[in-house]
Amino acid sequence: MTAFVGLLRGVNVGGRNRIAMADLREVAESLGHRDVATFIQSGNVVFSADHGSEPADEDRLGESIRVAIAARLDLEVDVMVRGRAALDRIVGAVPFPDADPKQLLVAFLATTPSPDARQALAAVEAAPEEARVIGREAYLHLPNGVGRSVLSPLLERRLRVRATARNLNTVRTLLTMLEGIEG
């Protein structure tokens, strides 16, 4: 059994794409996942499943959750899935170690962006904000907060991939939940 987190994109934001966390847990359980729990209302579901933790396995799990949400709740949302080992690597790779964790976003990307797309993001003049893309994640250091960010609203457009972001505190909590599932 491997522990995973499913991160839903754009749910319960500004009254749009409303999904109750109890419904999200039921969807995950209906797919045969075990140890299902949710964390805060932004669409985070942790679970264990009989799958490997390669990106292709994570993508298949995300697609199955996306399809089940569409069928059961009539809601179209992207779902990015990462396994416990991936989340451990993501937390360990934070390129801004001195940043306030509330002002450091980890954006989980649907696919790995091309080198040209990565360069397009790097070319954005947004000091004091900083961005780094490592694999299928983008790290955004936003010292003035996400509400006034220049980089945050440009992320998907510049990288040309779908993304969903969580602050580092949330990511660390999700990792702790996954560690608890795997023991």
- pLDDT at 123 exceeding the cut of 80: yes
The model's pTM is 0.94
Task: Please state the domain count of the chain.
Answer: 2
DSSP-assigned states of every residue in 112-130: PPPHHHHHHHHT---TT-E
Task: State the CATH number of the domain containing residue 154.
Answer: 3.30.70
* pLDDT tens string 143-172: 999 989 999 999 999 999 999 999 999 999
Q: Specify whether 12 is located in the same domain as 61.
A: yes
Specify whether the CB–CB gap between 94 and 134 falls below 8 A.
no
Same domain, 124 and 159: yes
Q: Same domain, yes or no, for 151 and 100?
A: yes
- Last residue of some domain: 54, 86, 118? 86
- 142 contacts: CB under 8 Å, gap ≥ 6: 103, 104, 105, 129, 149, 151, 152
- Domain end point (choices 45, 66, 86): 86
Range of the domain at 16: 2-86
Encode pLDDT of 54-85 as tens digits.
888 999 999 999 999 999 999 999 999 999 99
Furthest CA-CA distance within the chain: 46
Q: Is residue 37 part of a domain?
A: yes
Do 40 and 57 have their domain in common? yes
Residue 135: name the closest of 155, 162, 151, 115 by CA: 115
Phi–psi pair at 136, nearest 5 degrees? -100, 20
